[in-house]
């Protein structure tokens, strides 16, 4: 009870700041007018379009598209007011900084999280309210025209998806607002929010026309997880000093390069010294993420195996017997493997695997490690799936696996896991408060650690595994299959 009271007391200042911000927005015609116009006008336009489209499609009896048209319009109508009112969130911190009103607020006893959450809430309420009002307005018009209103469960998922979009976009806008030094810069960076969400919406529209409601729920959940991570990153790197101290945006490439090189090289004077004094500590730092990656990989392998056993069995059962016979025949045409080594190039394998490692980094950086780890999960899952397929074909799975995967996989898979663990660490550290360090400084140190592990361990392991895969594995696999 007491804890609840304390929590409530601590939430009061959040509401006070949010309420003030909302009052300010209502009093600002530059915010309110476009919102009112968009909220009222856009549904009318969309309704006119839908009416015409329905008439047109009915001529061709395209009932499915007609059914999906209204939900599609709801999704679009919900999205537009969010993009317009994003300006409120974009200028939440940097706008106050430009107007000089941020310092009294920062000098007050508000805690960082209270200030951040208040701004976040104020940024979310307006777009969501506008968005929901527009949807309601549109649905009212639709019902008056006798068009079919989507069923409640579809409407619910659309409302949740719209809310998820708003939370994601506002969370990103607040991070931008904290990190920018001018409203102009923040507005320019808004494209990095609107365009990806617009692309995401295209994907969601496909899901909707496809009629896969379950996937739409999953998409909403993924968007909300990403939004939660963004909020966490924003909170972790929210520093009053940063808001007060920085006046000008400047990217000093030379300084970034110098910091990175200093972190990467450490105090090492020889390669052995570098491995001992620089790489090894970096490796120790990825200890926990590595343990987590191994666990994820194990789950991935098991799930891949289960998936292939469950789904492929059905697929095989319902497949055309002639096609199946052809596949089995091709799989058992062992002599073809004799020439296999000629078709495999070690450098090409190394290059491909290195590209995967780089892909893990890029995917990880764009998604706070989630997609990076997912690549590892899928790769290892594929191995589990292949194991299941070999088993179903009635071949000796363990010997084939031991001969065809283990010789190079014993190096390649740990290399992949190490690279994924280093990327996972980047995400984990980014969402963890780092006192006294800027987000840029933290990122440089993390990228330096990733490079140490990749250059010092992952690439050498991949090079050796590529050589084994090209020159040793085919022979072993052939021997196993001939037995």
Partner 1 sequence: MIETRDLGKRFDELWAVQALNINVQEGQVLALLGQNGAGKTTTVRMLTGLLTPSRGWAKVAGLDVVRRADAVRGAAGVLTEQHGLYLRMSGEEYLEFFGSIYGLTPSRRKDRARQLLEHFELLPAASRRIGEYSKGMRQKLALARALIHEPAVLLLDEPTSAMDPESARLVRDEISRLRSSKRAIVMCTHNLVEAELLADRIVILFQGRVLIEGTVAELKAKVLGPPEFEVRFSRPWDSVSLSLPPGSTIIAASDMQVRLRVERPEQTNTEIARALLAVAAPLIAIQEAPRTLEQVYLKVMALAREGNLVH
Q: In the window 21-60, what residues touch partner 1 (CB under 8 A)? A: 23-24, 27-28
Per rule CB under 8 A, count of chain residues that contact partner 1: 26
- Interaction between residue 241 and partner 1 (CB under 8 A): yes
Of residues 107 and 212, the one with the C-beta less far from partner 1: 107
- Interaction between residue 13 and partner 1 (CB under 8 A): yes
Which residue in 453, 458, 426 sits closest to 442, CA to CA?
A: 426
Of residues 241 and 326, the one with the C-beta less far from partner 1: 241
- Interaction between residue 436 and partner 1 (CB under 8 A): yes
Task: Please state, in angstroms and rounded to a whole number, the distance separating the CA atoms of residues 172 and 305.
Answer: 38
Q: Which residues contact 317 (CB under 8 A, 6 or more apart)?
A: none
Least distance CB 109 / partner 1 (angstroms)? 4
- Interaction between residue 107 and partner 1 (CB under 8 A): yes
Q: What is the dihedral of CA 211, 215, 220, 226, to 10 degrees?
A: -150
Measured over the CA atoms of residue 231, residue 236, residue 240 and residue 243, the dihedral's sign is negative
- Interaction between residue 103 and partner 1 (CB under 8 A): yes
Least distance CB 448 / partner 1 (angstroms)? 20
Which residue in 155, 168, 151, 152 sits closest to 220, CA to CA?
A: 168
Task: Please state, in angstroms and rounded to a whole number, the distance separating the CA atoms of residues 268 and 282.
Answer: 13
Least distance CB 12 / partner 1 (angstroms)? 8
Query: Looking at 167-175, 213-221, 240-248, 293-301, which segment touches partner 1 (CB under 8 A)?
Result: 240-248
Q: Give the ranges where 100-151 is alpha helix by DSSP (H).
A: 102-106, 112-144
Name which position in 225, 240, 266, 309 contacts partner 1 (CB under 8 A). 240
Least distance CB 452 / partner 1 (angstroms)? 26
- Tell me how crowded residue 273 is: count the other CB atoms within 10 A of its CB: 12
Least distance CB 110 / partner 1 (angstroms)? 6
Q: In the window 404-433, what residues touch partner 1 (CB under 8 A)? A: none
CA 311 to chain centre: 27
Query: Looking at 101-109, 198-206, 287-295, 324-332, which segment touches partner 1 (CB under 8 A)?
Result: 101-109
Least distance CB 68 / partner 1 (angstroms)? 44
Query: Looking at 12-20, 54-62, 203-211, 399-407, which segment touches partner 1 (CB under 8 A)?
Result: 12-20
Name which position in 36, 53, 106, 303 contacts partner 1 (CB under 8 A). 106
- Give the Å distances, CA to CA, from 136 to 16, 132, 140, 198, 220: 29, 6, 6, 22, 20
Left (φ > 0), alpha (ψ -120 to 50) or beta: where does 394 sit? left
- Interaction between residue 102 and partner 1 (CB under 8 A): yes
Take residue 170 and report the two structure tokens written for it.
């506002």
Of residues 114 and 162, the one with the C-beta less far from partner 1: 114
Of residues 17 and 69, the one with the C-beta less far from partner 1: 17
Task: Please state, in angstroms and rounded to a whole number, the distance separating the CA atoms of residues 369 and 362.
Answer: 9
To the nearest 10 degrees (0 to 180), the angle between helices 152-179 and 191-210 is 160
Least distance CB 118 / partner 1 (angstroms)? 10
- Interaction between residue 104 and partner 1 (CB under 8 A): yes
- Interaction between residue 245 and partner 1 (CB under 8 A): yes
**Which x/- pattern, by CB under 8 A, does the window 81-100 give for partner 1?**
------------------xx
Q: Which residues contact 464 (CB under 8 A, 6 or more apart)?
A: 411
Least distance CB 117 / partner 1 (angstroms)? 14
- Interaction between residue 244 and partner 1 (CB under 8 A): yes
Measured over the CA atoms of residue 450, residue 243, residue 166 and residue 45, the dihedral's sign is negative
Task: Please state, in angstroms and rounded to a whole number, the distance separating the CA atoms of residues 336 and 355.
Answer: 28
Least distance CB 275 / partner 1 (angstroms)? 33
Task: Please state, in angstroms and rounded to a whole number, the distance separating the CA atoms of residues 177 and 185.
Answer: 9
Least distance CB 13 / partner 1 (angstroms)? 6
- Binding stretches for partner 1 (CB under 8 A): 13, 16-17, 20, 23-24, 27-28, 99-111, 240-241, 244-245, 436
């Amino acid at each position: 009870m007491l804890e609840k009271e304390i929590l409530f007391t601590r939430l009061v200042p959040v509401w006070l700041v949010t309420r003030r911000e909302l009052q300010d927005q209502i009093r600002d015609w530059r915010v309110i007018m476009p919102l009112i116009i968009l909220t009222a006008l856009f549904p009318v336009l969309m309704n006119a379009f839908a009416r015409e489209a329905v008439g047109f499609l009915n001529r061709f009896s395209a009932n499915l598209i007609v059914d999906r048209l209204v939900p599609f319009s709801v999704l679009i109508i919900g999205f537009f007011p969010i993009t317009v009112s994003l300006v409120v969130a974009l200028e939440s911190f940097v706008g106050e900084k430009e107007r000089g009103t941020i310092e009294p607020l920062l000098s007050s006893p508000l805690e960082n999280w209270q200030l951040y959450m208040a701004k976040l809430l104020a940024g979310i309420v307006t777009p969501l309210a506008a968005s929901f009002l527009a949807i309601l307005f549109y649905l009212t018009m639709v019902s008056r025209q006798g068009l079919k209103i989507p069923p409640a469960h579809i409407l619910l998922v659309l409302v949740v998806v719209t809310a998820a979009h708003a939370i994601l976009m506002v969370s990103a806008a607040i991070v931008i607002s904290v990190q920018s030094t001018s409203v102009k810069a923040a507005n320019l960076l808004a494209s990095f929010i609107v365009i990806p969400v617009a692309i995401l919406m295209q994907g969601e529209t496909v899901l909707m026309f496809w009629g896969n409601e379950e996937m739409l729920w999953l998409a909403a959940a993924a968007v909300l997880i990403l939004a939660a991570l963004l909020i966490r990153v924003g909170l972790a790197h929210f520093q009053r000093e940063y808001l007060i101290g920085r006046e000008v945006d400047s990217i000093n490439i030379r300084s970034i390069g110098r910091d990175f090189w200093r972190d990467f090289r450490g105090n090492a004077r020889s390669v052995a010294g570098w491995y001992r004094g620089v790489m090894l500590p970096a490796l120790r730092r990825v200890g926990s993420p590595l343990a987590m990656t191994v666990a994820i990989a194990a789950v991935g392998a098991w799930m891949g195996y289960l998936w292939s056993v469950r789904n492929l069995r059905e697929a095989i059962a319902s497949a055309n017997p002639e096609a199946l016979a052809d596949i089995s025949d091709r799989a058992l045409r062992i002599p073809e493997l004799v020439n296999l080594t000629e078709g495999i190039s070690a450098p090409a394998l190394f290059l491909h695997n290195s590209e995967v490692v780089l892909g893990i980094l890029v995917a990880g950086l764009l998604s706070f490690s989630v997609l990076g780890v997912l690549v590892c999960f899928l790769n290892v899952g594929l191995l589990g799936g292949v194991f299941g397929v070999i088993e179903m074909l009635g071949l000796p799975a363990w010997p084939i696996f031991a001969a065809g995967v283990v010789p190079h996989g014993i190096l390649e898979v740990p290399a992949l896991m190490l690279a994924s663990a280093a990327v996972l660490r980047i995400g984990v550290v980014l969402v963890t408060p780092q006192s006294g360090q800027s987000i840029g400084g933290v990122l440089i140190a993390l990228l330096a650690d990733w490079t140490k592990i990749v250059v010092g361990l992952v690439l050498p392991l991949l090079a050796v595994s590529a050589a084994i895969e090209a020159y040793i594995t085919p022979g072993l696999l052939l021997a196993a299959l001939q037995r």
